[in-house]
């Protein structure tokens, strides 16, 4: 029996890592946007859904490979994110961060219903065979999970390289650190803000696509994970890029372990208890630096 329990724990841990990697991309997008624009953009869920539908159109309707779908998801979600920012949210900026946050919730509803109007409420699935899981010693994992995990890791690595190594990435970090100083140095904050939104929204789109690959696509796909994404970003320290990744894995693993011990009705509660515990000890989040 103890062996059984251990096996259950190992499997839950693995499942948690996989679902954490799915949460990580939208959480990264959310955190990046927060770092530069200083408001929580709750449209990330809907942007993830938009990306998933874009990928689905490319894959299932146009018959192109899933890789092309992931690229399309990034581009379409980025474009939609920038449009929302430039057309609506930017103007709300004068009302403060709260106005923008509320505006982003409204935009999420508009976007979600536009998708519903275009694609209907039905479930859609990618044109992919479903593979049985492989056994790796005591635990099992599916090829799709491994793929998703690798894609998520690759995208995170690309983002890190972009931020650390390119001049544009450095400008973004500069604006995030100190917008006034960055402006003095000749960085155009609006341009950087829009680029950040594009990158953040694109990440959400890819994240949504990975969720869609793992499950199925419907207009509520992103909305369902919004709270978990938000929890991951807060846990990691709002605005911290590595923090968002760490937070996503902690939330993912915590949610899977909940299933072993508690009624699933407490899943969300466990996530928030974890946040409470972490923020009590580290008010800035796991890896946050600005304990303002």
Q: How far is the CB of 151 from other proteins (least distance, A)?
A: 15
Q: How far is the CB of 245 from other proteins (least distance, A)?
A: 17
Strands (E), the chain: 134-136, 139-141
What are the helix and strand counts (H, E) for the chain? Answer: 12, 2
Q: With contact defined as beta carbons under 8 Å apart, do 47 and 208 qualify? A: yes
Q: How far is the CB of 256 from other proteins (least distance, A)?
A: 5
Which pair of structure tokens corresponds to residue 220?
A: 């509520």
Q: Give the range of 61-69, 93-101, 118-126, 191-199 binding other proteins by CB under 8 A.
A: 118-126
Give the ranges where 38-96 is alpha helix by DSSP (H). 44-56, 66-84, 90-92
According to the binding rule CB under 8 A, does residue 130 interact with other proteins?
yes
According to the binding rule CB under 8 A, does residue 112 interact with other proteins?
no
Interface characters, 62-101, with other proteins (x: CB under 8 A): ----------------------------------------
According to the binding rule CB under 8 A, does residue 138 interact with other proteins?
no
Question: Token pair 């931020």 is at which residue?
Answer: 163
User: How does 104-141 read in b/e, with b if 16+ C-beta sit within 10 Å?
Assistant: bbebbeebbeebeeebeeeebebeeeeeeeeeeeebeb
Closest CA to 27 of 195, 175, 204: 204
User: How does 167-197 read in b/e, with b if 16+ C-beta sit within 10 Å?
Assistant: ebbebbbbbbeebeebeeeebebeebbbbbb
Angle formed at CA 74 by CA 183 and CA 120, multiple of 5 degrees:
125
Q: Give the range of 74-82, 155-163, 190-198, 252-260 binding other proteins by CB under 8 A.
A: 252-260
Span 215-244, contacts to other proteins by CB under 8 A: 215-216, 218, 220, 224-225
CB count in 10 Å sphere of residue 282: 14
Residue of the chain from 6, 91, 109, 133 that contacts other proteins (CB under 8 A): 133
Residue 109 and residue 226: Cα distance in Å, rounded? 13
Residue of the chain from 17, 268, 284, 287 that contacts other proteins (CB under 8 A): 268
Q: How far is the CB of 270 from other proteins (least distance, A)?
A: 11
According to the binding rule CB under 8 A, does residue 21 interact with other proteins?
no
According to the binding rule CB under 8 A, does residue 125 interact with other proteins?
yes
Q: With contact defined as beta carbons under 8 Å apart, do 216 and 123 qualify? A: yes
Q: Give the range of 13-21, 92-100, 105-113, 177-185 binding other proteins by CB under 8 A.
A: 13-21
What residues contact residue 147 under an 8 Å CB cut-off, 6+ apart? 213
According to the binding rule CB under 8 A, does residue 116 interact with other proteins?
no
Span 189-218, contacts to other proteins by CB under 8 A: 211, 214-216, 218
According to the binding rule CB under 8 A, does residue 124 interact with other proteins?
yes
Minimum CB distance to other proteins smaller for 94 or for 132 = 132
* Interaction site with other proteins (CB under 8 A): 4, 8, 11-12, 15-16, 18-19, 22, 122-125, 128-133, 140, 142, 144, 211, 214-216, 218, 220, 224-225, 255-256, 259-260, 263-265, 267-268
């Amino acid at each position: 029996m103890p062996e059984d329990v251990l096996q259950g724990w190992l499997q839950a841990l693995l499942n948690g890592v996989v679902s954490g990697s799915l949460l990580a991309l939208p959480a990264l997008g959310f955190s990046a946007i927060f770092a530069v624009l200083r408001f929580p953009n709750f449209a990330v869920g809907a942007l993830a859904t938009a990306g998933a539908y874009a990928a689905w159109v490319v894959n299932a309707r146009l018959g192109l490979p899933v890789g092309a779908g992931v690229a399309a998801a990034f581009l379409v979600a980025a474009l939609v994110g920038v449009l929302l920012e430039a057309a609506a949210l930017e103007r709300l900026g004068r009302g403060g961060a709260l106005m923008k946050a509320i505006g982003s919730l409204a935009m999420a509803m508009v976007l979600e219903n536009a998708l519903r109007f275009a694609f209907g409420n039905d479930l859609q699935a990618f044109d992919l065979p479903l593979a049985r899981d492989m056994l790796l010693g005591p635990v099992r994992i599916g090829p799709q999970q491994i793929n998703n995990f690798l894609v998520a890791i690759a995208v995170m690595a690309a983002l890190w390289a972009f931020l650390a190594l390119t001049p544009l990435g450095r400008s973004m970090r500069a604006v995030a650190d100190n917008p006034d100083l960055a402006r003095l140095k000749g960085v155009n904050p609006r341009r950087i803000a829009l680029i950040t939104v594009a990158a953040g929204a694109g990440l959400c789109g890819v994240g949504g696509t990975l969720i869609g690959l793992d499950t199925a696509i419907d207009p509520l796909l992103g909305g369902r994970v919004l709270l978990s994404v938000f929890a991951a970003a807060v846990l990691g320290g709002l605005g911290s890029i590595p923090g968002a990744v760490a937070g996503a894995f902690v939330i993912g693993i915590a949610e899977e372990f909940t299933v072993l011990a508690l009624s699933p009705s407490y899943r969300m509660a466990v996530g928030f208890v974890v946040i409470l515990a972490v923020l009590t000890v580290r008010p800035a989040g796991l890896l946050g630096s600005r304990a303002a």
